[in-house]
Structure 1
Amino acid sequence: MHGLVSIDYAVIGFYGIGLLLLAVAGTHRGGGANEYFLASRAAGWPMVGLSLLASNISSTTMVGLAGAAYLSGISVYNYEWMAAVVLVIFVALMLPSLLASGVFTMPELLERRYDRPTRLYFAGLTLFLNFAVDAAGTLYAGAFLLKLLYPGVELWIIVAALALTAGAYTVAGGMRAVLYTEVMQALILLGGSAVIAVAAFDHAGGWSAITAAVPPEKLSLIRPLDDPTLPWLGLLTGVPILGFYFWCTNQFMVQRVLAARSLDHGRWGCLFAGLLKLPVLWLMVLPGTAALLIAPGLDRADLVYPTLLFDLIPNGFLGVVIAGFLAAAMSSLAATFNAAATIVTIDFVRPAFPGIGDRAIIRCGRIATIVFMAAAVAWAPQVLRFPSLWQYLQSVLAYAVPPVVVLFLAGMLWRRASSTGAHATILTGLATGAALFLLGPVSGRLEIHFLYAAPIILSASTAAMILASLIRPAVDSSPLLWTRAHWAAESAALTAVPWWKNYRIQGVGLLVLTGAIVFAFR
């Protein structure tokens, strides 16, 4: 394992300077809350797509995917290709009413569909998951790698430095600065990932050597029911639940789409992001599989990515890859901080003080960002309690988010879904999730895969929604409902659109490409 030399530091330095310049360029004075939190809703589709990718492919993902592939095989890629499927559904059914509503946050959408307590519940849950899962996981992954470079520096100091760096330009420039930097960071992390992937395949002896030496089950996406990592039933039932929450309701992802300049640009940006997720198999997952030949016997799966990085990448290129890794960490942290600030100000502060002005709102957002940074830094060491970073991320979400999925799907697809049903969904989901979590991961009395726990919690929450809404149905028809009439009207409008601009044709093409990859690695 070798360290950095002057040329690597120079490359990283150029990255830092470029990040600073872009953040300054993206800082726009004026425009009020709409500018600070949503960049005046003027983002084009390439910016939306690249920022979605940059927010999603964090340092957490780069370390977690490689480690999971090393530990249990490429089935972890099922989370990645499922994003393309979920995004196609999202742009067809949910995005039109979402953008037409003009909301700033996803909890705000729930208040319009149900009531204020439902909004506050989801806002609080989102804040907790953002710092306990998203920000803490990203900080841990970034600090884990940098600790190898600087073993004499305390872990908490590295964690704090990462948080402060990302938080600084988020506080100063808001959403526009975040979007500008994320475009650059998406390109850098794709380039850095390509460098390490090529090096890993080369040192492993190529694809033929990998397929000859690695057990076939570790090169298969579809795993049997007794698979401890990702059984095929869990793929069909659990992964879509987590994917729907992450891509369709999670504020720090959806906020990029809310910033789109039009419905078309929002749709094209989402589909572009889905397309960019497909090469992750070769860029980030299979290098972890190749590491079985390059570095067998590693003590912890999270060591796979750093091992590949420092053992295989020559100096010069090493700086590029580390810059890509830092880009992934910075973009995800900035997205999470900005989303948290938006929720605090829009969902809590503004309703409590209806007459508050834009300057005060922005000031509250900046203070919230700082507080959120401190909370994430304090929580990040808890990740060490789990066998791997990826297991930590998915396990926490599986027990927490199924009721949220029910709230959004029922609110969008069922006219009778009511605020009473929403309250029953939340209480039932919390009780079921807490019981399964205490009996399973905490006490070990119940052995249940988290991908099976998620649909169980979803089923209980759905039953509660149906029963309570039948007893006390919604009084008013919600404009957020999706109906077949909407689909028919849109079909008529799309007849005048060139085929290459038709999002439905683009979505079908993305699904066909996704299916071909899954079939090839089944």
Structure 2
Amino acid sequence: MNLTGFICFLLFLALVAVIAIYNTRKLRLNTTAAYFMGNRTLGFWMVGFSLFLTNMSCNVLIGENEFVFTNDMSVMAWGMSSILAMIIVAEFFLPVYLKMGAVTTPDFLGQRFGPRLKKFVSIFFLASYVVSLIPTVLYGSAVALNGIFHVDAALGISYFAAIWLLVILVGLIGCCYTVLGGFKAITISDLVQGAGLVVGGILLLAFGLRYLGQGSVVQGIQTMLDSKKEHLNAIGGPHDAIPFSTLFTGMFLINLYYWGMEQYIMQQALAARSLSQGQKGISLAALGKLLAPLFLNVPGLIAVHLYPHLTNTATVFPKLIGDVLPPVIAGFIAAVVFGAAISTFNAGLNSSGTLFIMNLYKQWRRQAGDRELVKAARIFQLSITAVAMCFSPFISRFNGGFYSYIQKVSSFFSVPVFTVMIVGFLTKKVSEVAATTGLVFFIITYTLSQVVFDLPLHYLHVVAILFVATVVLMLLVAKWKPMTTPYTLQNQAVVDLKPWPSRYWFFLILLMLMAGAFILFSKAGIAQ
């Protein structure tokens, strides 16, 4: 472990903590609105950077660079195609949530279908955070930090023990942010860390290319473009790990769910002080997705040429940081990576508390005041952190790779909820019985398709087929048992609902740049 790099790592973390504490010193966290939503006072900078950094978790940094190293740039499709999903969310989903005054995305299901489905989906969300989100964030951050600082070698312990130690460290620090600082402290730290991530990504790219080119960035670029060109292609074939056709089936559905219905993501936008600020914030995050390949994918491309015989491919990203960067910059980027992990962890933890308190505990303890609700939220958040700490180190035992684990497990939780919510958005007479039937049907059939039957289809195509089948089933059940009174959206807005006037021009530019990125990393571009 390099002492200089470690000191820089600690100093940057301390700076972020001081900024967050200073800007929230007068904020009282004795109400649920302050603790969970920052009193709905976020401007577009905070919304955008918070969305961006929450998405840029360690599991994505580790997983996507590992995928590029072992496969090709086709994994870039997840981030690039999400730009279209984010535009749809900003234009159609966010206005609905803000108009009804939603605190959680299942609030829509409660108003649209009834309280039972709202509770069921809230429990479903909580299960996904405990099984998928929080453990993978802890594991990914532990892998990254051990790869940068070589904790196992420095302390003379096994790799598995080092991962477990770092998981506990990240969990405890993240818990302190959430439990002591609340939502506003999280978003302020995200603003600083997000700017640091952009700067760190550019520095890593520059130093990585110079290292590859033996002192010349230009020669490094030339080396990356002239050999092993199969790794440069983002247009996956039918038999690749991520076929390009999945952009138009399951990947689109999952992206639309993630950016428009996933509680820990949407909570950042729901806390905006107006619809206009929320739409600008989502657009800013979409712009960040265009820059994301600088640190999500290109380091993996550089590593392909530097480490042809690497066995533990999950260490690609942290190994590159440790090898190509000066100690001071390595410490800075380690802090940024750590901050990305903390950001996603905090978002998941804060959203878990919001779902549990507002949608479950509050229904059970109807007379509970804000102080009791905030206290119960803190106890619950500490409890699920402890559970996730125990589980996350064992992700290393999953057969198929870290990124495969993330995507397959998240699909199990995401698309069933997406199906029910999208039908709720687009219809007015589909009943709670139809929605519950569809939800259960999707969960059972998707589980069978992945665990019992060996289907000759990519799992994202299976997701799309089941989506269509579930929608048809819900519509048929609704014909049999429709709602007696068609649903109408109630206006309970607590913020200004005037939309951002210039959004369409910005959306068009984003879509053009998205298409350009696919052309660049294809056989029509640099992968020819």
* Structure 1 stretch displaced more, 265-274 or 422-431: 422-431
Alignment partner for residue 421 of structure 2, among 396, 400, 408?
408
The aligned runs of 1:63-462 (5 Å cut-off) are: 63-148=62-147, 149-151=150-152, 152=155, 154=161, 155-205=163-213, 206-216=220-230, 218-227=231-240, 229-384=241-396, 385-439=398-452, 445-462=454-471
Relative to 1, partners in 2 of residues 1:481 and 1:434: Cα closer, same or farther, differing over 3 Å?
farther
Which one-letter code corresponds to 1:171 in the other structure? V
Contact 1:139 1:377 in 2 (8 A): yes
Give CA deviations for 1:158-183 in whole Å, capped at 9, x if unaligned.
21111010011210121111111111
Instruction: Return the TM-score normalized by structure 1.
Output: 0.92
Work out the CA distance in 1 between the residues paired with 2:223 and 2:164: 41
Q: Secondary structure at the match of 1:401?
A: helix
Work out the CA distance in 1 between the residues paired with 2:193 and 2:294: 19
1:86 to partner: Cα distance: 0.4
Which one-letter code corresponds to 2:469 in the other structure? A
Structure 2 residue aligned with 1:486: none
Does 2:6 align with 1:9? yes
Work out the CA distance in 2 between the residues paired with 1:32 and 1:93: 30
* Structure 1 stretch displaced more, 144-153 or 465-474: 144-153
1:481 to partner: Cα distance: 9.8
Which one-letter code corresponds to 2:151 in the other structure? Y
1:449 to partner: Cα distance: 2.2
Contact 2:83 2:511 in 1 (8 A): yes
Work out the CA distance in 1 between the residues paired with 2:290 and 2:411: 23
Number of aligned positions between the proteins:
499
Contact 2:267 2:351 in 1 (8 A): yes
Instruction: Return the TM-score normalized by structure 2.
Output: 0.91
Q: Secondary structure at the match of 1:316?
A: helix
Identity, % of aligned positions: 23
Work out the CA distance in 1 between the residues paired with 2:18 and 2:413: 39
Which one-letter code corresponds to 1:302 in the other structure? A
1:184 to partner: Cα distance: 1.2
Work out the CA distance in 2 between the residues paired with 1:32 and 1:303: 42
Structure 2 residue aligned with 1:18: 15
Work out the CA distance in 2 between the residues paired with 1:108 and 1:186: 29
* Structure 1 stretch displaced more, 455-464 or 276-285: 455-464
* Structure 1 stretch displaced more, 467-476 or 88-97: 467-476
Work out the CA distance in 1 between the residues paired with 2:508 and 2:490: 24
The aligned runs of 1:41-52 (5 Å cut-off) are: 41-52=40-51
Stretches of structure 2 that go unaligned for 5 or more consecutive residues are 214-219, 492-496, 523-528
1:147 to partner: Cα distance: 3.1
Which one-letter code corresponds to 2:225 in the other structure? T
Q: Secondary structure at the match of 1:306?
A: helix
Work out the CA distance in 1 between the residues paired with 2:264 and 2:307: 36
Give CA deviations for 1:269-327 in whole Å, capped at 9, x if unaligned.
00110010111122320220121111112113212112201111121111111111111
Give CA deviations for 1:387-406 in whole Å, capped at 9, x if unaligned.
32211111112233222111
Give CA deviations for 1:10-33 in whole Å, capped at 9, x if unaligned.
211212222322332325215611
Work out the CA distance in 1 between the residues paired with 2:145 and 2:98: 40
Q: Secondary structure at the match of 1:299?
A: coil
Contact 1:188 1:327 in 2 (8 A): no
Stretches of structure 1 that go unaligned for 5 or more consecutive residues are 483-489
Off by >6 Å, runs of 4+ in structure 1? none
Q: Secondary structure at the match of 2:248?
A: helix
